Amino acid sequence: MNSPPDLDMRAVRRAFDDAAATYDLHAALQREVADRLLARLDYTTVKPSLILDLGAGTGYCTRQLEQRYPRAHLVLADLAPAMLSAARGSARRFFSRRHYVCADARALPLAPASVDLIVSSLTLQWCEDLGAVFAGCARILKPGGLLLFSTLGPDTLHELRAAWAAVDDAPHVNRFHDMHLVGDALIHSGFSSPVMEREDLTVTYADVLGLMRDLKGIGAHNAHQQRARALYGRRQLTRLADAYERFRRDGLLPATYETVYGHAWAPQRDTRPQDGSTVATYPLSQLKRR
């Protein structure tokens, strides 16, 4: 399964490196999604010895996982070394069980069948090839291990995309995979019993510049290969602000995030892989392992 069209991964890495110092100031939505994702673990009986936080960023998920599983070792993997440096700053000085890996999610340098739990919150939308990422996750998970993730769907920031369309024809907002395609990629990568669920989360702003400051602050720049390289002019920004006004409700401008949650299990040994007809979309309260 291929990436969203024409992502410039060098630009992605550079943007997140540049945002490491400001990320936590602008990541309220990211923390909310992470909390909702990790709450799904309440419905599992997993007792992991080794956990991979894939796309660890500044370590928010890692800190929650350390509280939940105090005896587990945690591997923090991220494409941006500055993010890992920021995460290291929140580690315990002594007796830390953290390990840091700067790596592309498509080529994780971990041993086969070595990980009990992989958690990835709002990272997969930045990956070039979901099929390769999921295949790598299946390789490193122990039989019966769990992959738990959140990502963004194609309706994300549809207001901003529509407003930019009134300014010019250039791509200004990244596009993300449909939930059903993500589920198919899990199946094709050998995972068992995948479950997908979506919800829309809305953040409101007094003006469109507030939204753009948050996106810049977390490193979520437009990474399309065909993006405009020049800085926006005042005329462009004025036209953007005017076009966004049609979405204003109760005095505020909404920014919608189509949030997708998913989980799947690495199959037990000697079990037959499933086909794509077995992707489920029932409530995650049924997450508990049979």
* Cβ contact 277:193 at 8 Å: no
Rounded CA-CA distance 167/226 in Å is 16
Considering the domain boundaries, does residue 144 fall inside one?
A: yes
Please list the alpha-helical segments (H only) found in 192-261.
208-218, 234-244
Q: Where are the beta strands (DSSP E) in 191-267?
A: 192-205, 253-265
Burial group, residue 152, by CB count within 10 angstroms (0-12, 13-18, 19+): buried
Per-residue b or e along 213-233, where b marks 16 or more CB atoms closer than 10 Å to that residue's CB:
ebbebbbbbbbbeebeeeeee
Considering the domain boundaries, does residue 85 fall inside one?
A: yes
Considering the domain boundaries, does residue 55 fall inside one?
A: yes
Considering the domain boundaries, does residue 41 fall inside one?
A: yes
Record the tokens describing residue 185, joined without a space. 């990629």
- Which H helix or E strand runs over 68? helix 60-68
Containing structural domain, residue 129:
9-151+177-200+259-286
* One-letter amino acid of 107: A
Considering the domain boundaries, does residue 61 fall inside one?
A: yes
Look at the chain and report how many structural domains it folds into.
Answer: 1
Considering the domain boundaries, does residue 134 fall inside one?
A: yes
Helix (H, G, I), strand (E, B) or coil at 127: coil
Helix (H, G, I), strand (E, B) or coil at 163: helix
Considering the domain boundaries, does residue 222 fall inside one?
A: no
Rounded CA-CA distance 98/103 in Å is 16
Close Cβ partners of 70 (under 8 Å, ≥ 6 residues apart): none
| Pairing of the two strands 253-265 and 141-152 | antiparallel
pLDDT at 170: 80
pLDDT at 223: 59
**CATH no. for residue 49?**
3.40.50.150
List the chain pLDDT tens, one digit each, 290 residues. 444 547 778 888 999 999 999 999 999 999 999 999 999 999 999 999 999 999 999 999 999 999 999 999 999 999 999 999 999 988 877 788 999 999 999 999 999 999 999 999 999 999 879 999 999 999 999 999 999 999 999 999 999 999 999 998 887 888 888 999 999 999 999 999 999 999 999 999 999 999 999 999 999 876 555 545 455 678 889 999 999 999 999 999 999 999 999 999 999 876 655 554 455 454 444 444 43
pLDDT at 5: 47
Considering the domain boundaries, does residue 254 fall inside one?
A: no
| Tokens 């993500």, located at residue | 182
